[in-house]
Structure 1
């Protein structure tokens, strides 16, 4: 999952045909002389990567960084997808939520062990005590602010359609938080209702079940 979940959900929601490849063997698919990292395709030497084929006079393009990938897909998506929201105000809300999703991801990288970094206090991770404090204080504070924001709207989502790029990006990060701490949203009733509704969306459910073009996306943040 990590940074790959959000682009997969946005791609599935876009209404455009797409294919995807999940890295299941880091040693062979990513690292090594024949791996993707050595290929030079990734602009910043990291995943995810969106490979856009040439079309007419437009040359092929490799796009890195999850936010850029999601925004690009939203730009070329079918109008009914709702990825860019309805008007400038919803677009602003979407971008705001995307930035919040980035903040949550960066905090998770620092405060939670992963499938690859399995010990606290090493490789840039805080101590286990500091991790617990983040989950109970800073993370809960961010969730409370999100709950207040979604509660202030006329409907049950942050935008009328509920499928803006920022909402899907935020969902991808909250979903990964919830996989680690199943009760993390329990005190945020409005946010939890929005999360559950988004999770039930057919396109989102297809990605989470491993039935989309990218296949199974394995859990990244976890306890050991």
Structure 2
């Protein structure tokens, strides 16, 4: 149980850090969509709604306007980073499905309880996930489910979330889903298994944010 708790605390950071392994140059997304994943659109409106949720949560978490403006400055690439996470979440879901992995609501609640105890309460955990991983409180359970999926997938592969075997499984799932980003947010190449040095502003911004 201790291993699961430790892994969950670092998993979101690992996904953000390793995400450029799957990015490169690509083709135009469908009109009106921020991305198309497995034939399903992530619309610009859906993306903006998620970004607004993060901003609203950030605003509620600080007491002074100057603090909020500092947070906004520190998360200047929020829109592109958020889309990246939304796409990667679907890729992880497919990789877990391919491996026959599922997560129950009870498992999510158990993990949340453990993390709340470690963080010092429910509010402290929500603030940690918001500020470190860009996950607003209303999506915390969803993110914890994904964390459990990732850990189970790594266990099934007898590896961990920072190793090539794990990211190869995500790369394979990404290829199946035929991910297509709107060029304004960058591009996606499921065949790349190492970081790509590209001139796309999204890649530079994501790296800078890390």
TM score, norm. by length of structure 2: 0.29
Q: Larger C-alpha radius of gyration, 1 or 2?
A: 1
